[in-house]
Chain A
């Protein structure tokens, strides 16, 4: 817009702002990865460059720390959450975006309210419930909790996507004699697919990153998720920073790859969820 009138301030200010942003955003990421690769992780202190490159911390977390099992547990829980939350939230989003019915606004408000419920308030009663039903230490139990956690946001975001599909397109399908399910499969589903991808990623990341429930419910070390598994390398007084950062890298990098792949959809999804509200 005002690119034509490049003032001196803008010519200096813009690169400085970009550099500051890149430094703040990326330095912690860089520090994590370079510590993970540095064989002398603990004594590196203020050296910006690692003293060498080695994968010894990575092999350590797999061989001594059983991190492969934790990653597998996280993946199982994550994909379970995607599947269940994706299907459930799509149904619900279609209901609130497409049909008019009594209490529709009430349902929407309830969905918003549960989004704010603090996990710390739920973890006590859910722990007791899970214990009473013998679901502690169960990946299925954890998955069910994560489905519930990711549903409100998924419904809200998908609702925005369903609303952007013009009603005329659907009506045209009806006039051509299509049944509702036919219309759903061949008209609505392909059009909201990007939204479904975005919400699936969110559901997956919710499950992948979650700490409180996994930490509280999973007490057998073979049932840890990756986010909790890092905790065992972290000591109160002496911490093995190499393994902590290596396992942190293993947890973070898949999420980063996802984010970069879907970043376009992410922005529009959030805007649809926020603005269409």
Chain B
């Protein structure tokens, strides 16, 4: 990977810098360049230290832990090396293939699809509204966004609460369910449908606001020119709007994918989501339960590594998209 990075560096530099040497300032610039060599690293050092110490080092540790049986002893832990045992156990378990992975993947795909589709539709809507309604709708969208994952989850649980919840009572009064016996949270399908609602409600504002910002960069003249050339609304949308927001669209899709694969809080807080119901495990919850409820840090770490590798694959796509886009901009 490093080769491509170094290879990509100078190309980028050559384009976004203007010629640095002006004869009358050569001496001053030479001195400045010497200082300049150290300065970026001095500026970066604190951030890199924090990131290395709290994100990178633990990531290495989790890799190491996944190959150990870790036992908590008084005053510290002792790890016994077990090689790839946790991985073979994990990859050989029916729970992973029948429950954990399908839950994780289908949930993520549903959430990303709905979040991006709804977010884009809302952005297009906001872009068509007059200033007053746009402000009102933007504030509503911001309100949905501002709701923390924890409180948002509690509200959705409360809405779907067996017996007392609003949705349960309405469905009961319409004769769709028996509110006394129906519990939406015990089965995988309804459980994840509610989780999807929750995650989409929390996630679509980011897409809407970002895509809207992209839409607003399109000059109005382009549409006027298109109209003069006889393009109808549909053609103007596909020829002007879509190409302009495509880069933004790609970024929000990939970011949503990364976020939705690692949803934890929303699942963990739902009834049965904290490990009581194996049916609704996803990869993050499974890892957490193994480590902290079952004290099996090794298997928990192995599941965490699996999740990380999955997200790494998605991130590579993300980065390639971003940098390809960066080159096109210049």
- A 79-104 contacts with B by CB, 8 A: 87-89, 91-92, 94-96, 98-104
Interchain CA distance A103-B6 in the complex, whole Å: 6
Which B-chain residue is minimally distant from A211 (CB atoms)? Answer: B265
Task: Determine whether the beta carbon of B264 is less than 8 Å from that of A212.
Answer: yes
What sequence of 0s and 1s flags, for each residue 203-239 of chain A, a beta carbon within 8 Å of any chain B beta carbon?
A: 0010011011000100000000001001100101001
**Contacting chain B: which of A49-57, A58-66, A252-260?**
A252-260
- Interfacial residues of chain B within 205-260, with CB under 8 A of chain A in the complex: 205-206, 209-210, 212-214, 217, 220, 223, 233, 236, 247-248, 251-252, 258
Question: What's the least CB distance linking B183 to chain A, in Å?
Answer: 11
B325 contacts A by Cβ under 8 Å: yes
Instruction: State the Cβ distance, A175 to closest chain B Cβ, in Å.
Output: 8
In the complex formed, the residue of B with least CB distance to A274 is B251
Task: Tell me the chain B residues, 170-221 only, with Cβ under 8 Å from chain A.
Answer: 170, 173, 201, 205-206, 209-210, 212-214, 217, 220
A24-B201, A32-B151, A101-B40 as given contacts; A151 in contact with B262, CB under 8 Å: no
Decide: A125 near B149, CB < 8 A? Known: A26-B144, A270-B209: no
Chain A residues within an 8 Å CB radius of B159: 28, 31
Q: A151-B47, A263-B142 are in contact. Are A121 and B305 (CB under 8 A)?
A: yes
The answer to the question of B287 belonging to the interface, with a C-beta cut-off of 8 Å to chain A, is yes
Q: Which residues of A contact B173 (CB under 8 A)?
A: 46
User: Which residues of the partner chain A approach B136 to less than 8 Å between Cβ atoms?
Assistant: 22
Residues of A within 8 A of B251 (CB): 274, 277
Which of A118, A227, A259 contacts B142, CB < 8 Å?
A259
User: Measured between C-beta atoms, what is the minimum distance from B156 to chain A in Å?
Assistant: 7
A227 CA to B150 CA in the complex, in Å?
6
**Which B residues between 97 and 149 are near A, CB-CB below 8 angstroms?**
121-122, 125, 128-129, 133, 136-149
Report how far A129 CA is from B265 CA in the complex, Å: 22
Annotate A114-133 by CB proximity to B: 1 below 8 A, 0 otherwise: 11111111111111110010
B284, A118: Cβ atoms under 8 Å? yes
Are A245 and B155 within 8 A (Cβ)?
yes
Docked-complex contact B233 and A2, CB < 8 angstroms? yes
Instruction: Tell me if B294 is interfacial: C-beta within 8 Å of chain A.
Output: no
Chain A neighbourhood of B55, CB < 8 A: 114, 117, 122, 148
Q: Contact check, A106 vs B287: say whether CB atoms are below 8 A apart.
A: no
Verify if A172 is at the interface (C-beta below 8 Å from B): no
Judge whether B281 is part of the interface by a CB distance below 8 angstroms. Answer: no
Is there contact, CB below 8 Å, between A101 and B146? no
Main secondary structure of the interface of A (DSSP, over half): helix
Q: Which of A22, A87, A100 has the most CB of B within 10 A?
A: A100
**CB-CB < 8 A to B61: which residues of A?**
125, 128-129
What residues of B have a CB within 8 angstroms of the CB of A89 in the complex?
A: 47
The reply to whether B43 and A245 form a contact with Cβ atoms under 8 Å apart is no
- The interface residues of chain B lying within 8 Å CB-to-CB of A124 are 62, 65, 287, 291-292, 297, 300-301, 304
CB distance from B128 to the nearest CB of A (A): 7
B23 contacts the other chain (CB 8 A): no
Minimum C-beta distance from A174 to chain B (A): 8
**In the complex the two chains form, what is the Cα distance from A28 to B264 in whole Å?**
20
In the complex, the chain A residue whose C-beta lies closest to that of B305 is A121
By the criterion CB–CB under 8 Å, are A92 and B209 in contact? no
Q: Return the contact of B122 from the options A21, A92, A99, A118 (Cβ within 8 A).
A: A21
A35 touches B9 (CB 8 A): no
- The answer to whether A18 touches B77, judged by C-beta atoms less than 8 angstroms apart, is no
Are B214 and A275 interface neighbours, CB within 8 A? yes
Minimal beta-carbon separation of B251 from chain A (angstroms): 5
**Are A43 and B213 in contact, CB atoms less than 8 angstroms apart?**
no
Structural contact, A25 and B143, CB atoms closer than 8 A: yes
A158 to B287, CA, bound (A): 34
Q: In angstroms, how far is the closest chain A Cβ from the Cβ of B269? A: 8
Given contacts A216-B292, A241-B158, A266-B209, contact A148 B6 (CB under 8 A): no
Known: A88-B47, A251-B151. A122 touches B5 (CB 8 A): no
Among B77, B201, B288, the residue within 8 A (CB) of A28 is B201
CB closest residue in chain A, given B223: A1
Q: Is the CB of A117 within 8 A of B137?
A: no
Top 7 closest pairs, chain A to chain B, by CB: A271-B213, A148-B54, A125-B61, A248-B151, A121-B304, A209-B148, A99-B40
Chain B positions within 8 Å of A, measured between CB atoms, are 1-2, 5-6, 8-9, 12-13, 17-18, 36-37, 39-41, 43-44, 46-48, 50-51, 53-59, 61-62, 65, 70, 76-77, 121-122, 125, 128-129, 133, 136-152, 154-156, 158-159, 161, 164-166, 169-170, 173, 201, 205-206, 209-210, 212-214, 217, 220, 223, 233, 236, 247-248, 251-252, 258, 261-262, 264-265, 268-269, 271, 276, 283-285, 287-288, 291-292, 297, 300-301, 304-305, 307-308, 311-312, 314-315, 318-319, 322-323, 325-326
Residues of A within 8 A of B (CB): 1-3, 14, 17-18, 21-22, 24-26, 28-29, 31-32, 35, 42-46, 87-89, 91-92, 94-96, 98-107, 109-129, 132, 144-145, 147-148, 151-152, 155, 167, 180, 205, 208-209, 211-212, 216, 227, 230-231, 234, 236, 239, 241, 244-245, 248-249, 251-252, 255-256, 258-260, 263, 266-268, 270-271, 274-275, 277
Q: Can you give 16 A-B contacts (C-beta < 8 A)?
A: A21-B122, A21-B141, A22-B136, A32-B158, A42-B164, A95-B41, A102-B6, A113-B315, A124-B297, A125-B57, A245-B155, A256-B147, A263-B138, A263-B139, A263-B209, A277-B325
